[in-house]
Structures are given as C-alpha cells and as structure tokens.
Amino acid sequence: MASIWSEEAKLSRWLEIEILACEAMAGRRIIPRKDARTIRRRAKFNLRRVQKNEARTKHDVLAFLEEVASHVGPAGRWIHQGLTSSDVLDTTLAWQLRDAADLLIEGVRKVRAAAAMRARKHRGMLTIGRTHGIHAEPTSHGIRMALLHDEFCRAEERLEEAKREIAVGKISGAVGTYAHLDPSIEAFVCKKLKLQPGAATQVVPRDRHAAFAQALALVAASAERWATEFRHLQRTEVGEAAEPFAKGQKGSSAMPHKRNPVNAERICGLARIIRGNALAALENVALWHERDISHSSAERILFPDSTILLDFILADLEALIRGHTVDPKRMLANLRATRGLWASQGALLSLTRAGLPRRQAYEAIQKHAMAAWLEGGADFPTRLENDPELGKKIGRKGLREACDALRHLRHEKLIYRRCGL
C-alpha cells in the first residue's frame, strides 16, 4: 500500500498520463506520430532533479515537466499540450485510490474469511449476551463471529462503491471546457488507465473524494467496533476470549503477569485518525469557483495516511479474529453467574400466556429477579418455582422452557444464513 503513495510512483503515473495524452493526440494527427514515439521512448525523470527544479519554480508539475522535457529533445514541446496541472494530478489520484481500494477490498475479504472460519468453529458455543454491558440473554460466540462476517460483507460493498465513484479521470484543460483539447484525448487516456471520464471544472468535484474517505472511515469504525468487543471479552472480570499472545511477548514493563489487548487497542486508536481524515475530506468539498488548492495540501496527507492505516488495521483485525483464544468454561460460568436471571423474559412470557396482565407479570418477575440478585438465597428459577401463585401459573413445563438456554440458539442457522454463511 505504501508503494502506491511513494513520490517515485506518483511521478511515474504522471509520466504515463502525459505520454498517453501525446499518443492520443498523435492518433488524431494533432501532433506527429514520430514525436509521440520519441516521447514514449525517451521520456523519463530523475526524482532529485525534479525536486531541485521545484525548489526554484515552487510548482511541482512545472518542475516535473522541465525535467522530462530535458530527456526528450524537440518532441518534448508536445508534452502537456492543452493540459492543466489538475488533469495530471486528479487523474493520478483517481488511479492511486482505485488501486488502494483493490488492496483494501482484499484485506476486507481476508477479515471475512477469518470471521467465517471462527463462526463455523464456534457454532452453538453458548455465552451470555450483554446489553449496556449488563448480562441479558444467551447467544453464541459463533453468532458473534457470524455478525462480524455480515458487517464486513457490507464493508466490502462500501469499498466497491467508493472505488467505482472515485475512479474518474479528467483531461479537459484549465477550467474543464476542453477549449484546447478534444474530449477524445480524455477518453483515450481514461480507457488505457481503466478509469471513467467525468464532468469536472479544473478539478474533479471533491464530493467523490469525500465519499471515498467516508467509506474508509466506516470500515475503520466497523473494525473498531469488533476490536472493542474483543477488548471487553478479554477483561479479567469477563475472560471469555483473548487476542493472540506470542511466545516471548511481554505485556507490561512493570508487571510480568500482564497480557493486554494491545492489538485491539491499536485498532481503536488508528480508527480515530481515519475518522478525523474523513472530516478533512468533507471540508475539501467546498472549493472556490472552478478550483482552488485548499484541498491539495490536506489530500497529500489524508489519502496516503487513511489507506495505509486501514490496510494495517485490516491485517491486524484478521490476525486477531483468526488467532484469538476462547474459554468455553468461562463462558458457561459467566452465563450462570447471575443465578438464572437471563430466564426472566421467558418466565414473563409464560405468565402472560397463562393469562396474567403484562404489567402484573413484569412486576412479579422483577421482584424475584432483584431478590435473587441482591439478597442471595435461592436462585431465580427456584424462587419462581417456590412462589405459590407464580409457580402454579408458569408450571413445570413453562419454567423448564424459560430456563432452557439452548432455546436461544434455535434459529442460529437462520442467523448464519442471513450473515452469508
């Protein structure tokens, strides 16, 4: 990913665009064919000399053109004929972002594959679900992984759409009117680069770039969501899952016992940078008239950084998913820790089916639940069974059904199917 954004690679793309434009002009007999062949054969650049030129000209594209022309000879006069800097810059940026998107999509697919593998492995592995951080009702670790897979199916779709929207080139001149260029030149260059020509002013409208940056931020947010889940599951008080811990790895400079969720924490921190960059991309949409360059300085930072960071995040997340350890015994212990409270909704529904008004049933169940949790003594199911009125209404069958944890996995197959598994 980093190689896409190197200075050498960027200027190589500039050069290819300039050469293709000359070849397109030669094809329309605007410039001599022999000169286009000379340009293809001799056009090159030395990065140090480009940088030296830029120190004098204070203009990156002019500095580049001077260096290229010095290698070509008289035919060099045709290079950049009718073009403006943004033709080269924006077409290059589209090309870079398209290639970056391909790498990110590959990374997302690896995350999906890891999630699918763990979902199949942990199907039916009971664990307590939590809402607001508090025990709710049973689920399975497999369902968690299936939902992760589902979220990254959407992440892939978002990146595919962002790639389609950003892959737009522009070779239309100073304010985008083709005054000194035939539109066929643009069509030729874009076809060669597998980009689409698009309507533009002097620059490609920045809503496209903002949409791309927001897609990156959304994928990073999804990665952070699941990294946060693993961080919570690794907490000492929970202990249901833990990220990989390599042989020889150390958790703390002071406390040898520490095994911290550093990979997950790193994902969360880097995702914040990508979200911040998305805001800068939104700010870049409102440019003056046909163009200004307030967007340019920000984009030189935000797109390399965001694509490189997201590429890194996806690799980190894949390793975390693929390599995390689980503790089924701890999951069952946590499931039992609230002494049957997770069965409260099942008991409530049994009472309403038996004819008790919902409010009355809710308050009766809540009373026993709070007593079981706060006062100790008998657990929640036992309290219900021993209640003369409620026990009779619920009945042994209703109580057994309410306290059957496996009923919560009855539709696990359906959930998997909806998650693409």
pLDDT at 389: 86
Helix (H, G, I), strand (E, B) or coil at 134: strand
- Kindly state the percentage of the chain with pLDDT values over 70: 100
Least Cα distance to 217 among 298, 95, 109, 313 occurs for: 313
Please report the pLDDT score of residue 396 as a whole number: 84
Task: Tell me the average pLDDT of the chain.
Answer: 95
On the question of pLDDT at 392 being above 90, the answer is no
pLDDT of residue 318: 98
Whether pLDDT at 377 is above 90: no
**Residue 266: φ, ψ to 5°:** -65, -40
CATH tag, 2-81:
1.10.275.10
Return the domain boundaries, the chain: 2-81, 86-179+194-243+258-334, 341-402
Under the banding of pLDDT at 50, 70 and 90, the label for residue 251 is confident
Provide the annotated active-site residues. 132, 252
What is the structure's pLDDT at 133? 94
DSSP E strands: which ranges in 205-317? 241-242
CATH number corresponding to 341-402: 1.10.40
Res 395 pLDDT > 90: no
Identify the CATH class of 86-179+194-243+258-334.
mainly alpha
**In this prediction, what percent of the chain has a pLDDT beyond 90?**
91
Per-residue pLDDT for 13 more than 90?
yes
CB 282 within 8 A of CB 74: no
pTM score = 0.93
Average pLDDT over residues 66-71: 96
Length of the chain, in residues: 421
Band of the pLDDT at 236, cuts 50, 70, 90?
Answer: very high
| pLDDT score of 35 | 97
What value does the mean pLDDT take over residues 349-364? 93
Query: Per residue in 97-109, pLDDT tens?
Result: 999 999 999 999 9
Q: Using pLDDT thresholds of 50, 70 and 90, give the confidence band for residue 229.
A: very high
Query: What would the pLDDT profile of 257-294 be if each residue is shown by its tens digit?
Result: 999 999 999 999 999 999 999 999 999 999 999 999 99
Rounded Cα distance, 72 and 2, in Å: 30
CB-based contact 240:183 (threshold 8 Å): no
